[in-house]
Amino acid sequence: MNKKLQDYTEEEWEAVCTRCGKCCLLKLEDEDTGDIWYTDIVCRYFDIDNCACTIYDKRCQLVPACLKLTRDNVDKISWMPDSCAYRRLVEGRPPAPHTTIKGRCISEDNVREEDYEDHIVDWKDL
């Protein structure tokens, strides 16, 4: 079945997410080049054991930098991992093997902001 994106209900769109947690990783941007660097640090509201946001319905209000992925913006967000189920759906590609950040990340509550650069990761499966 090749359903068109605009025909997805809100519930169907939300169900696309595989709960990998990659979009919840804190990212650093090089101000000079615009390059994005992933860290192994996650938002304080991320439940590391369940790979889910604990404040999902209020996430954009409580975390202004949190971005709600939609059918209209997911293909415009350059830092979305290649394996993101939303990105792959929008690009018409099959799902990627499921990987998560479970067991590979640390809460931002446990890292000083000045130490964020020490947490840059280069995970090939991201």
Indicate the domain borders of the chain. 5-110
Give the pLDDT confidence score for residue 124 in this predicted structure: 78
**Average pLDDT of span 81-85:** 90
Task: Identify the CA nearest to 39 among candidates 28, 23, 50.
Answer: 28
Q: Which two tokens stand for residue 20?
A: 């990998």
**Average pLDDT of span 21-27:** 93
**What CA–CA distance (Å, rounded) separates 38 from 61?**
23
Indicate if the pLDDT at residue 38 is higher than 70.
Answer: yes
Q: Which two tokens stand for residue 41?
A: 């640090």
Residue 46's Cβ-count burial label (10 Å; 0-12, 13-18, 19+) is: buried
Share of the chain above pLDDT 70, in %: 99
Give the global pTM: 0.88
Indicate if the pLDDT at residue 1 is higher than 70.
Answer: no
**What CA–CA distance (Å, rounded) separates 123 from 126?**
5
Contacts 24+ apart (CB under 8 A), 94-97: 95/18
